[in-house]
């Protein structure tokens, strides 16, 4: 299992507010299915990120493309495979 960081840069603040509840519901479903390691938003308003657990980039892109923020063009997305290192 690999980890992938999906950055969700802000595209439209108003749309982000409109679709926030749907986005959070989607993340809750994905977390319950075991696909999310962590998520959060940047306090400076730049957007947020989700760290997914998956076997492939394509799988994670499929998850990102179903996120209500991305579907409704409130946020963009940028995916990076993450080589996680835990602190001591």
Phi, psi of 51 (to 5 degrees): -105, 110
Q: What percent of the chain has a predicted confidence (pLDDT) above 70? A: 100
Per residue in 9-24, pLDDT tens?
999 999 999 999 999 9
Residue 51: both structure tokens together: 């760290």
pLDDT of residue 79: 98
Mean pLDDT over residues 54-73, rounded? 98
The answer to whether position 49 is within a domain reads no
Query: How many domains does the structure of the chain reveal?
Result: 1
Mean pLDDT over residues 58-69, rounded? 98
The answer to whether position 88 is within a domain reads no
More confident residue, 86 or 33: 33
CA dist 34 → 9, 14, 56, 57, 59 (Å):
24, 30, 15, 16, 13
pTM for this model (two decimals): 0.91
For residue 41, pLDDT beyond 80: yes
User: Domain span at residue 63?
Assistant: 2-39+58-82
């Amino acid at each position: 299992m690999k980890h992938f960081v999906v950055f969700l840069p802000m595209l439209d603040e108003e749309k982000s507010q409109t679709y926030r509840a749907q986005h959070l519901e989607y993340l809750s479903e994905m977390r319950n299915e075991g696909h999310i390691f962590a998520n959060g938003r940047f306090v400076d308003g730049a957007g947020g990120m989700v760290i997914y657990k998956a076997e492939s980039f394509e799988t994670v892109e499929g998850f990102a493309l179903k996120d209500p923020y991305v579907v409704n063009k409130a946020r963009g997305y940028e995916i990076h495979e993450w080589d996680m290192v835990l602190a001591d």
